[in-house]
Amino acid sequence: MSPDEAAAYLAEIAYHLRHKEDPHRARAFSKVAASVLRDRPDLDALHRAGKLESLEGVGAGIAKVLRELVAENRSAYLEKLREESGEPSLVAPQLTPLVEQGYMGDLHTHTDWSDGGASVLEMAQAAQARGYRYLGITDHSPRITVVNGLGPERLAGQRRVIDEAQRRLGGAFTILQGIEVDILPDGSLDLDDDTLASLDLVIASPHLQLRMEAAPMTERMLRAVEHPHVDIIGHPTGRRPGSRAGATYDFEKVFAAAARTGVLMEIDCDPARMDLSPELGKLALEKGCRFSLDSDAHYVDQFVYVDLALWMTRKAGIPTERIVNWLPVEGLRKEFAQWPPSG
Ligand SMILES: [Zn+2]
Ligand SMILES: [Zn+2]
């Protein structure tokens, strides 16, 4: 069994475990899925040698699942979890690496300018090493003081650092400077228009006060979707399966508005988020939305979150034509150009 295939199974198991409010085991499965993707061990050889437990983070329980996967190409444990969640239909695991399927770059990542653990250059080099053609650096806005969010001055400083990194990486790879700006409770954004206009890419995300009543929450999201500088709505509900329900609002109305204004809905692939869910992704698709599929990585080893969540887009029935990460950088730039076009 290939590492990609095994990782897809393990990631789906983790997803179900989170919904069963077993975040501890969920994290253990997610971690092994990520390390299998990163280290690409020969699982068949390890199985023959009886050494699956030598893999990082693999205890007796996960080893049992892996043994069955390698030997029989299935997991009774996953089938049981699917059954319990009322989703017994099988989603084919992914068989080929992400870039071979046409994924060109990640648009939502953090660096040590806010709460990430790596520098701009380290993140960009790691993305390039994965075969990506571009990377969106989208640190937090000032409101989130606990994570050292960026205002206009620090953004200007970061732009210089990005330009320097860009020179070192050459023209075949593009770093886009963006921001993950907070959607405030009244639907306004946490940075002024001029600052937002100076960036290549604007992700607007709800982080705080997610338990608002549905009616004001709908107004809040509509205002963000109709904002002329917003390109993407990040993790649109803010949920954390197993620990925090996301915001509830008139999804049909907000998705229809996003389809009209051309604002993308994100599928945030962080295993702790998985937001939009496949169910809401399907609804957004029906309303005419397009999507971005991002890791929300806070460190270089988290880019693999996208690989691990790709099955969600399949489950939602979203074709890659509707996901902007399949576009080359010129197409993206057009996508994120100011709206309405100035001049
Ligand atoms: Zn966020
Ligand atoms: Zn983020």
Look up residue 63 and give its two tokens.
């080893």
List Cβ neighbours of 135 (8 Å cut-off, separation of 6 or more).
Answer: 105, 106, 107, 109, 123, 124, 127, 128, 173, 174, 175, 176
Q: 265: which strand partners?
A: 233, 291
Lowest mean pLDDT among 30-44, 121-135, 186-200: 30-44
Q: How much distance in Å is there from the Cα of 203 to the middle of ligand 1?
A: 9
Beta strands in 82-236 (DSSP E): 105-109, 134-140, 174-182, 201-205, 232-233
Task: Give the ligand at the shortest distance from the Cα of 204.
Answer: 1
Q: How many A from CA of 102 to the centre of ligand 1?
A: 25
Task: Check pLDDT > 70 for residue 204.
Answer: yes
124 pLDDT higher than 80: yes
Instruction: Examine the pLDDT at 87 and tell me if it is beyond 50.
Output: yes
What domains appear along the chain, each with residue ranges and CATH number?
A: 3-84 (1.10.150.110), 98-337 (3.20.20.140)
Report, as an integer, the average pLDDT of 176-201.
96
> If you measure from the C-alpha of residue 274 to the centroid of ligand 1, how many angstroms do you get, rounded to a whole number?
12
Binning the chain into helix, strand and coil, the percentages to the nearest 5 are: 50, 15, 40
Considering every ligand atom shown, identify the ligand nearest to the alpha carbon of residue 207 and give its number. Answer: 1
Ligand 1 centroid vs 327 CA: distance in angstroms?
23
For residues 243-266, give the mean pLDDT.
Answer: 96
For ligand 2, an ion, list residues with CB under 5 A: 180, 296
CA of 107 to the centre of ligand 2 (A): 10
- Looking up tokens 């509830």 gives 248
What CA–CA distance (Å, rounded) separates 237 from 254? Answer: 12
Q: What is the pLDDT of residues 128-161, one digit of tens each?
A: 999 999 999 999 999 876 778 999 999 999 999 9
**Residue 325 predicted with pLDDT over 90:** yes
Position of tokens 């599928």?
267
- The CA radius of gyration of the chain, in Å to the nearest whole number, is 20
C-alpha 180 to ligand 2 mean position (Å) = 6
Ligand 1 ion: residues within 5 Å (CB):
205
Q: How far is the CA of 241 from the centre of ligand 2 (A)?
A: 16
Rounded to an integer, the average pLDDT of 324-337 is 95
- Nearest residue to 317 via CA among 273, 276, 259, 256: 276
Please give the helix or strand (H or E) that residue 140 lies within, else none. Answer: strand 134-140
- Cβ 99 vs Cβ 74: under 8 Å: no
Average pLDDT in the chain: 92
